[in-house]
Amino acid sequence: MRRIRYQEIAEQLRARLADAAVGSVLPSESEMSAEYEASRVTIRRALEIVRDEGLIAARQGFGWYVAGDPVRQSLESLGTIESQVEGVGKMSERKIAEFAFEDAPARVRKVLEVDQVLRVKRVNLADGEPFAVVTVWCPADLAGTFSKHDVERRPFYELLDIELRGATQTIGADLAAAPDAALLDVPAGAPVLRCQRVTTDHTGRAVLLSEHVFPAHRTEFVVDLPQAEPSMTPSGLRLVD
């Protein structure tokens, strides 16, 4: 029986996806058009067939990617990315990209009220796939004995020998800058969720400032509301200038 070209390509795509990691980005339609020697219309039809089977999905700014359940993080309590990932049955791993004691940038100095900080930039992985780029600033007087090996093995919450009170977290939409995009294995300019967290000790002093960048197609934040309010507005929503 004669096979239509887009059906042949769809079959090859299924085989190609068998070993592909969830969230990984497929080549662009123009790249696949050249690879399969087919028109963009034919490639799009093949992709749509595979999409309808639930194997892939598309999002503006990403293109096509391998579909699957996103990494979900609860905002109801103070915790680590590792605990959230392991809590849903995925293997958590972290890789340190940058580690330096340095002068605090102005915006960091404003929050932590110190001149010297330890800055750590890392990549968090779930089942071997990058899903977060995290940069943490900690006052040097609290992190003076920390080594790169320490922060690779354990979160700051465990390393700091102080009592923590809580954190304020702000999440917004952004586009991936080239350095973060390379670490996350997504195209530069792809949609991301950018989270800033300020953690305080029991006296109210800010002891950690962290920025988390998540690919928008792989991450969900969940807030459990104990009681329904007489409004359909999402909790915590505010306008930004």
**Residue 160 counted as domain residue:** yes
Residue 128 dihedral angles phi and psi, to the nearest 5°: 85, -5
Task: Name the domain boundary from 23, 51, 66.
Answer: 66
Task: Name the domain boundary from 66, 83, 107.
Answer: 66
Q: Are strands 129-139 and 116-126 parallel, antiparallel or unpaired?
A: antiparallel
- The yes-or-no verdict on residue 144 having pLDDT over 90 is no
CATH code at 127?
3.40.1410.10
Residues 187 and 89 in one domain: yes
pLDDT class for 79, splitting at 50, 70, 90? low
- Whole-model pTM? 0.71
**Residue 132 counted as domain residue:** yes
Instruction: Say which range, 158-167, 173-182, 216-225, has the weakest mean pLDDT.
Output: 216-225
- Which pLDDT belongs to residue 217? 78
Task: Give me the percent of the chain exceeding a pLDDT of 90.
Answer: 41
Number of domains in the chain: 2
**Residue 100 counted as domain residue:** yes
**Residue 235 counted as domain residue:** no
CA distances from 105 to 12, 125, 199, 226 (A): 50, 27, 18, 39
pLDDT class for 241, splitting at 50, 70, 90? low
pLDDT class for 86, splitting at 50, 70, 90? low
- The yes-or-no verdict on residue 1 having pLDDT over 50 is no
Residues 136 and 174 in one domain: yes
CATH code at 26?
1.10.10.10
Cross-strand bridge partners of residue 117? 102, 139
Residues 21 and 118 in one domain: no
Q: What's the rounded Cα separation, in Å, for the pair 115 and 110?
A: 10
Instruction: Say which range, 46-55, 79-88, 179-188, 231-240, has the weakest mean pLDDT.
Output: 231-240
Residues 100 and 62 in one domain: no
Q: What's the rounded Cα separation, in Å, for the pair 6 and 46?
A: 5
Residues 78 and 56 in one domain: no
- Which pLDDT belongs to residue 37? 92
Residues 127 and 210 in one domain: yes
Report the mean per-residue pLDDT for the chain.
Answer: 84
Structural domain for 102, as ranges: 71-222
**Residue 121 counted as domain residue:** yes
CA-wise closest residue to 31 among 3, 74, 64, 70? 64
Residues 83 and 161 in one domain: yes
Contact 142, 162 (CB under 8 A): yes
- Rounded to 5 degrees, what angle do the CA atoms 41, 44, 47 make? 155
Residues 189 and 76 in one domain: yes
Task: Give me the percent of the chain exceeding a pLDDT of 70.
Answer: 82
Instruction: Say which range, 41-55, 65-79, 142-156, 175-189, has the weakest mean pLDDT.
Output: 65-79
**Residue 231 counted as domain residue:** no
Residues 50 and 165 in one domain: no
Q: What's the rounded Cα separation, in Å, for the pair 128 and 89?
A: 13
pLDDT class for 138, splitting at 50, 70, 90? very high
Length of the chain: 241
pLDDT class for 126, splitting at 50, 70, 90? confident
pLDDT tens digits for range 11-51? 999 998 888 877 778 888 999 999 999 999 999 999 999 98
Residues 22 and 80 in one domain: no
pLDDT class for 108, splitting at 50, 70, 90? very high
- The yes-or-no verdict on residue 78 having pLDDT over 70 is no
